[in-house]
Structure 1
Amino acid sequence: MDSSETSKLMTAKLKKGFFISLEGIEGTGKTTQARLLSERLIEEGYEVILTQEPGGTVIGNRIREILLHVDHREMSYMAELLLYNAARAQHLSEKILPALNQGKVVITDRFTDSTVAYQGYGRGIDIQLIMSINDIATEGIKPHLTILFDLDVETGLQRNKGINKVDRLELEDIEFHKKVREGYLKIAEAETGRIKIVDASLSFEIVAQKVWEIVRWRLEK
């Protein structure tokens, strides 16, 4: 299926609602920004669902525990890829699509771009294979808008150390995280219409304002 056919399929399935994903490497503050954006949209009168990947459902949260637990460092890259997409398929079916069909705004902290960046560019799994599996799990659905929070790797990891946040992926070496960041930027370069980059090194207040300006513009459009 080419990109135009995928776009038509996505449009047909997402007749209602508005789907936003937030992406970025570790420590960019996207989880905080997701909450702030949700609160702002609710203030503006929108019905909002705030969720995350992996997770968002009971089944997804169980898979999340397996994926991120620091004791599971022996997990194969392919098992990792398939578990992320298993959680995603459940997430989409149980939570995201029903909310969109009710005309709500759905904000997810991570979606398919994370898998391409982490398992593709970071792990080295074939990108086309990952995209094919992503398409199976999502039936070709992508967010209407993706905001990529960009930050240098050293700063991001240091931020997470400051709040004592540790999971299996954060234990990877710095070169892994640099590959992930480079991957995100390549993804954004290829999809400038959907993906907008925000400088995450700025204060969270300024970042929140920039995010709101992007989202408001797209909603009005």
Structure 2
Amino acid sequence: MSSVAIDGGRFITFEGGEGAGKSTQIAALAEHLRSQGYTVRTTREPGGTELGEAVRGVLMGEYEAPMPAMSELLLIFAARAAHLLQVIEPALDNGEIVLCDRFTDASFAYQGVARGLGEPAVATLERLVQGERRPDGVLVLDLPVEQGLARARSRGEDNRFDHEAVAFHTVVRETYQMRARANPERYALIDAAGSSQQVSRAVIAAAHVWL
């Protein structure tokens, strides 16, 4: 099958709380799209580049003193700048579909609202780092907080963010829900509580709207 290039590419991001199944669903969507002939690039934030992965290690680490919220936000956008320059924009220029595990919606949910920095602080960095670049579509995998944290811990993948109080994760979830409902043309709110196959069907159907 010949590969399908899309003029300008497509940028689709996956968002959701801890344990929502983003990695599983990115892999499933990528496999489906490749079977349709599309060229797909999968990546993640923070990460995706050598610098980004180094920053990820810093962000996920535990420290004697809590990491300041602004330090957290600035580190994420420093990694994001490299990610856009080195990975995302070149792939889109080549007509690829980029599937990214988290992007700036996570910054709004985690640092802007749950950490209390305010959405204007995130929006300022969004403009400086991204210019006009926004995802073509955002898949929000929605899952009750306790269920998501239990999933993450059962896989042994818990990190500094998993150790936050349930109230923190509840605010994150509510922020994602609010952002998705405010812009239904660019967001799809996916019930992630079902089986992996059920969620994949919903993800695939939603993603095809943006292709």
What is the one-letter code of the residue matched to 1:86?
A
Q: Give the 3 Å change call, closer, same or farther, for CA 80–41 of structure 1 in structure 2.
A: same
1:21 to 13, 16, 19: 13
What is the one-letter code of the residue matched to 1:198?
I
Shift of 1:128: 1.1
Q: Deviations over 1:79-104 (max 9, x none)?
A: 00000000001100100000000000
Shift of 1:72: 6.6
Contact 1:24 1:184 in 2 (8 A): yes
Provide the aligned C-alpha RMSD in A. Answer: 1.3
Verify: 1:185 aligned to 2:167, yes or no: no
Matches within 5 A, 1:73-152: 74-152=66-144
Contact 1:34 1:107 in 2 (8 A): yes
Deviates more, 1:119-128 or 1:65-74: 65-74
1:52 to 41, 44, 58: 44
Q: Give the match's secondary structure for 2:63.
A: helix
Q: Deviations over 1:132-175 (max 9, x none)?
A: 11221111311101100001100000111111111111111111
Contact 1:147 1:197 in 2 (8 A): yes
Paired residues in the alignment total 206
Aligned to 1:196: 188
Shift of 1:218: 2.5
**In structure 1, what is the Cα distance between the partners aligned to 2:142 and 2:65?**
26
2:167 to 167, 175, 178: 175
Q: Give the 3 Å change call, closer, same or farther, for CA 141–43 of structure 1 in structure 2.
A: same
Shift of 1:190: 1.9
**In structure 1, what is the Cα distance between the partners aligned to 2:210 and 2:158?**
34
Q: Give the 3 Å change call, closer, same or farther, for CA 72–65 of structure 1 in structure 2.
A: farther
List alignment gaps of at least 5 residues for structure 2: 1-5
Shift of 1:73: 5.7
- Percent identical: 39
What is the one-letter code of the residue matched to 1:27?
G
Contact 1:66 1:72 in 2 (8 A): no
Name the structure where helix makes up a greater proportion of residues: 1
**In structure 2, what is the Cα distance between the partners aligned to 1:200 and 1:73?**
34
Aligned to 2:3: none
Contact 1:72 1:168 in 2 (8 A): no
Aligned to 2:33: 41
**In structure 2, what is the Cα distance between the partners aligned to 1:70 and 1:209?**
37
Shift of 1:70: 2.5
Q: Give the match's secondary structure for 1:171.
A: coil
Contact 1:54 1:84 in 2 (8 A): yes
What is the one-letter code of the residue matched to 2:175?
G
Q: State the TM-score, normalizing by the size of structure 1.
A: 0.90
List alignment gaps of at least 5 residues for structure 1: 1-13
